């Protein structure tokens, strides 16, 4: 199984993954490249920036459908959320 396939399967099962999880679970250090490839394959993946104790990190979340309520999630979450393409997706 390729590293890209490992990431795809993990996202399909768990819906989200961080760089640290990819390193710990699969010893993958180039998660952003596999996320880029999966997006090109048609997967809808949103970047959600989180604040840790001493740093910020991105959590990639696999989403399924459009929703106008997405802006409420941004306001409530106080996280920077990057949208996939020009669309707003339900997390």
Q: Tell me the pLDDT tens digit for each residue of 12-35.
A: 999 999 999 999 999 999 999 999
Q: In Å, how far from its chain's centre is CA 47? A: 5
Instruction: Please provide the average confidence, as pLDDT, over all residues in the chain.
Output: 79
Strand partners, 81: 48
Mean pLDDT of 81-91: 50
Q: What share of the chain in percent tops pLDDT 70?
A: 70
pLDDT range class, residue 48, cuts 50, 70, 90: confident
Which one-letter DSSP state was computed for residue 53?
Answer: S
pLDDT range class, residue 53, cuts 50, 70, 90: confident
Q: How many CA atoms lie less than 13 Å away from 52 in the CB half-sphere?
A: 8
Per the structure block, which two tokens stand in for 13? 């099962």
pTM for this prediction: 0.74
């Amino acid at each position: 199984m390729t590293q890209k396939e490992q990431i795809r399967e993990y996202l399909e099962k768990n819906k989200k993954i961080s760089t640290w999880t990819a390193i710990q679970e699969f010893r993958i250090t180039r998660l952003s490249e596999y996320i880029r490839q999966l997006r090109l394959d048609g997967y809808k993946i949103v970047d959600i920036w989180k604040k840790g104790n001493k740093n910020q990190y991105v959590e990639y979340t696999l989403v399924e459908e459009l929703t106008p309520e997405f802006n409420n999630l941004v306001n409530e979450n106080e996280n920077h959320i990057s949208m996939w393409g020009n669309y707003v997706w339900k997390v």
